[in-house]
Chains A and B, each alone.
Chain A
Amino acid sequence: MEITKKPKIKDIPYDEFNDNDSLQKIVRELHEGGSNVAIGVLDDIINWGRGYSLWPLSFATSCCGIEFMALAAARYDMARFGFEVARSSPRQADVILVNGTITNKMAPVLKRLYDEMADPKYVIAIGGCAIAGGPFVKSYHVVKGVDKILPVDVYVPGCPPRPEAFFYGLMQLQRKVKVEKFFGGVNKKEKKEKSEE
């Protein structure tokens, strides 16, 4: 029997989200070997809690960071969805929003920040620059897409994206968190680097 999961986001019906196919693909892959009844229910409860308390790292390199600040401010108020606790330390953060251009000099720093975060951790690429280099794609000092150095979970296009687009991206991440297996199975398998001797 195939396990189906339709994560619920308040006030937005499931079918109104784009790219439900990718989400279902993740569900199928995670539950290929079936799921334990008791642990499966426990998974749902924990993921419900995790989904609404994603703490972002307050990381911003350029323009998109200002829209991220607007997101936290009075009008857009991301606290409504559980993202309000922006952390300054990567060790306390669950999700890193890559706001803005990543340059060659910044790339090792970003990788280090990501490595310092505790599992389970997520990456959202915000804006054209983080996705593919954006308007600076021809520059000699810009990384053409942050997915070259980090595994990206959600892409939010725009230059910069509107605050509404930020929310949409963050909700897509919530949906992704809600279908994951917290117990049994691994959340995110990292390839072990072969130690060079």
Chain B
Amino acid sequence: MEDIKYIEPASLRDEMLHLRNEKKMDFLRSLIGMDWGVPTEGDAPDSTRGLGVVYFLESTETHERTTVKTSTLDREHPELPTVSDIWKTAKLNEREVFDFFGIVFVGNDDMRRIFLRNDWVGYPMRKDDEPEKENPLRMDNEETVDETTEVELNPDGTIKDKENLVFKDEEYVINIGPQHPSTHGVLRLRVSIEGETIKKIDPVLGYIHRGIEKMNESMTYPQTLSLTDRLDYFAGMQSRHALCMCIEKAMGLEVSDRIQYIRTIMDELQRISSHFVFYACLAMDIGATTPWFFGFRDREKIMDIFEETCGGRLMTHYNVIGGVQYDIHPNFVKRVKEFIPYMRGIIHEYHDLFTDNIIAQNRMKGVGYLSKEDVIAFGATGGTGRGSGWHCDVRKRIPYALYDKVNFKEITYNEGDSFARYMVRMDEIMESLKIIEQLIDNIPEGDFRVKTKPIIKVPEGSYYQAVEASRGEFGVFLESHGDKYPYRLHYRSTGLPLVDILDTACRGLKIADLMTIGGSFDYVIPDIDR
């Protein structure tokens, strides 16, 4: 259970600056909006009420972690101080909280809605909001809004509204997406250009916002599992693993060694298959078609292994609370052991065709540079962070499952360009093979599933569990009030920071490089929009 310290909104900024500067907490892992309801008479004296925010912080030097929360009781005009000038990643996250809960952050210069339409009525994640009642399907084209209102705090404590413009009138803004082949889904980018040079990028999100977090609040725990596969469909195993671990941790359920072995192997297979798609799509974005066929050809081999054991190709639905859905197929070990030497024998084709290609190298080397400070400030984990020399692998930082027992290297590159991000993924394929090789022969006998009660109830409290998904740290935040439904279930998106940092990586480069850089970030849109 997470120990969360409550801070009054008035002293929040001082406390946050203290944590940032004295304690060197430079990585804001998660910023989560909450609705704790209105105060009632039966409340315990230390219970938190109102609309608020939970902050998860970590120091990249000392690996010290802390969690704080704040809240306001005003439901009409809830206002909280911003932390977006302390951590850059907070800016987009605070927009998300504003969109879902209506909390205005004083000092954040961009308070537009992020996922929902501008003409949306109400704030859907509030417990007393009925989003469907006032929001029928609107078929008129949405107007793009450039004006945003910033709430500023004057030195004398009064509040003043200030109008900000995202793009000025004289800027030349082009629209990319939501239907565009190289945005990897329905991402929409508004790009201000001068000639061919990018001046600013403004991502418009929400075209695949499916309201998963709100749906979770009316689902039982086993039901919530099925939606995790559909968040980031290249990391279905890992996301589901995270949610299962979070619920198991909350219930105090221990799983057997066999389950840990199976889960670790499956996670790594999923990672390899995701990196194949990364390779295929990055090459496709640059204009090379053949690597695309290579990536998908070998991905099918992993799909076969999944299908035999799980019954599904893409949606595997394999992890369940207290174990896995089915025992591994009798052919599983044999198939995986055939796959490892096959992959090692064929990886040179990938490198011959694409890595050593002079066009690919020219398009990627030195393009889209991100410093280590940038990636930490934006919380861009995964291959993007490791390509800039940040040791952010959750498997090493906070080991879970069997990752503290196996021997593997955390791949990092210091160049920080697209090529480094690409090489991180290619090398990780080999590391994942190494992990699987160490485990596959030693899967112990035992149960593949721990018996649980038919109705799963989680003790009261807040829980957080992170895993290293295919493209970064995926976190599950669960707040339970002791019911069979979660009170709040939040997923830390692996892709949101990547879209956020796109602006920093692309400024001053040519518009054609935007696709290469986007490809090297490897974001998946349903995971961003949730």
Which residues of A are in contact with B by a Cβ distance under 8 Å?
58-63, 65-67, 69-70, 73-75, 88, 90, 100-101, 103-109, 111-113, 135-136, 138-143, 148-149, 159-160, 162
Contact = CB atoms under 8 A, between A and B. Distances in A.
A160 B315 contact: yes
A102 to B, nearest CB: 9
Nearest to B130: A140
Contact of A63 (B142, B180, B181, B315): B315
Nearest to A75: B300
B137 A100 contact: no
Contacts, number: 121
Chain B, interface SS category: loop
B: interface residue count bin: 35 or more
A58 B177 CA distance: 13
Contacts of A74: 293, 296-297, 300
B313 interface: yes
Given A75-B296, A112-B141, 20 more contacts: A59-B179, A60-B185, A61-B207, A62-B525, A62-B526, A70-B296, A73-B296, A74-B296, A74-B297, A101-B208, A103-B210, A104-B135, A104-B138, A105-B116, A108-B140, A136-B210, A138-B215, A139-B211, A140-B132, A149-B137
Interface string B377-389: 0000000000000
B526 A58 contact: no
Given A101-B210, A103-B210, A108 B139 contact: yes
B137 A143 contact: yes
A103 B209 contact: yes
Contact of B142 (A88, A108, A140): A108
Contacts of A107: 137, 139
Interface in B153-190: 178-181, 185-186
Residue with the highest number of chain B CB atoms closer than 10 Å, among A103, A109, A111, A149: A103
Nearest to A57: B179
B481 interface: no
19 contacts: A59-B179, A61-B207, A61-B525, A63-B230, A66-B234, A66-B314, A73-B292, A73-B300, A75-B296, A103-B209, A104-B137, A105-B206, A109-B141, A111-B139, A113-B179, A135-B230, A139-B210, A139-B212, A141-B116
Residue with the highest number of chain A CB atoms closer than 10 Å, among B207, B227, B300: B207
A63 B526 contact: yes
B226 interface: yes
A148 B136 CA distance: 13
